[in-house]
Amino acid sequence: MGMSYLVYPGAHHTRFHHALGCLHIMQKAVQTLRFKGVEISNNEENALYIAILLHDIGHGPFSHAMEHSIVEEVHHEQLSLLFMEQLNKEFNGQLSLAIQVFKGEYHRKFMLQLISSQLDMDRMDYLKRDSFYSGVAEGNINSERLIQMMNVDNDVLVIEEKGIYSVEKFLVARRLMYWQAYLHKTSVVGELILTKILKRAKELVQNGIQLEASKPLSYFLENKVTLEDFNENVLQKFSYLDDYDVLSAIKAWQFHDDYVLSNLCRMIINRDLLKIKMLDEKPSKELVKSYKQKFINLTKLSEKEVAYFVFKGSLKNQAYNKQSEPIHIYKKDKSIEDVVEASDQLHLKALSKQVTKYYICFPKVILES
């Protein structure tokens, strides 16, 4: 949950918990589907377990912040795949089928859908888990019942008709978790500051300025790393990185000479963040400019430096994506319908509209100036 612990201190669970949880509910899904007569071989079963256990292994610490700072647009799913392939070598090909499924190259499509779709084990686990640990009860879903309602028709994952209200609940819960937790304004600003810190650190290191950091983190600060660069050696360095590297660095950098770096770091350490304002409309260029000017007046920073403290952006969320592969409802007459069509209300249609919100961030001090 990134920096959400700044809002919800209980949200202190780990990706390891999530991986175990996904595995657990995948076992339940396999049990349920077999009980309904869906044939799943032992090999396929293992592939499902391996793939779900490893689906997130490519996430670095504070993954989203890193993806936009110290690695060059390397998506975590690509790294998960690289890790799986590396493990496949070590385990003499035992992950081959899992990899095939994960890449979407296996003919039984429902297997991929269990791992990655609009109603996969991943989402089921993280919504329930994040709701539980954060205390945002609005996100609690009935994953047990959703799984009981699952079935497979022509190798496609479907939900039996009487589970339609559980799907509706699931989509609403997802929407509410986004706005109340993942995109809560304090989580967002925390994540943005973290991204800025990593960007600034990389910038400084690239300019020859020395920063205290663990060896693996230093590597990624010193080198420009794109997906192509991820050979076995770099992958191993990446695997050594975790929250401890990042947060230890931030703790050290709060005392660094660079104004930008140390101030951003202190914001995280002292939980004294930039101010963030949520808006229905894009903030005007003039507003951003005037805020920047005020902060320049106060601090004598350069244009480039002030952009670390005053910036704008947008957040988007869509509880259900009609363009992606739909959630299939399996009706009593054995026909299949997109959940949005099958519902008795316009309600789900509304949920597939994208909602966009805008924000502007700036130091609190400029409100007083």
Contact residues: a second copy, CB under 8 A: 9-10, 12-14, 16-17, 20, 137-138, 140-142, 145, 165-166, 168-169, 172, 175-176, 179-180, 212, 214-215, 240, 242-245, 247-248, 251-252, 344-347, 349-351, 353, 355, 357
Bridge partners of residue 316, in order along the sequence: 356
Amino acid at 211: L
Rounded to a whole number of angstroms, the minimum distance from the CB of residue 198 to a second copy is 16
For 175-210, b/e burial (b = at least 16 CB within 10 A) is bbbbbbbbbbbebbbbbbbbbbbbbbbbbbbeeeee
Dihedral pair phi/psi, residue 319, rounded to 5°: -65, -35
C-beta closer to a second copy: residue 20 or 367? 20
Rounded to a whole number of angstroms, the minimum distance from the CB of residue 297 to a second copy is 29
Rounded to a whole number of angstroms, the minimum distance from the CB of residue 145 to a second copy is 7
C-beta closer to a second copy: residue 236 or 297? 236
C-beta closer to a second copy: residue 111 or 360? 360
C-beta closer to a second copy: residue 91 or 240? 240
Look-up of token digits 């005392």: 255
Residues 6+ apart with CB under 8 A from 224: 72
Residues 6+ apart with CB under 8 A from 172: 319, 351
C-beta closer to a second copy: residue 101 or 147? 147
C-beta closer to a second copy: residue 216 or 283? 216
Q: With left for phi above 0 and alpha for psi between -120 and 50, is residue 271 left, alpha or beta?
A: left
For residues 241 and 221, what is the distance between their CA atoms, to the nearest angstrom? 12
Rounded to a whole number of angstroms, the minimum distance from the CB of residue 1 to a second copy is 13
C-beta closer to a second copy: residue 227 or 350? 350
For residues 182 and 63, what is the distance between their CA atoms, to the nearest angstrom? 14
Rounded to a whole number of angstroms, the minimum distance from the CB of residue 322 to a second copy is 14
Rounded to a whole number of angstroms, the minimum distance from the CB of residue 96 to a second copy is 26
Rounded to a whole number of angstroms, the minimum distance from the CB of residue 366 to a second copy is 20
Alpha helix (H) ranges present in 223-345? 232-240, 243-253, 259-269, 285-299, 303-306, 339-342
Element (H, E) at 316: strand 311-317
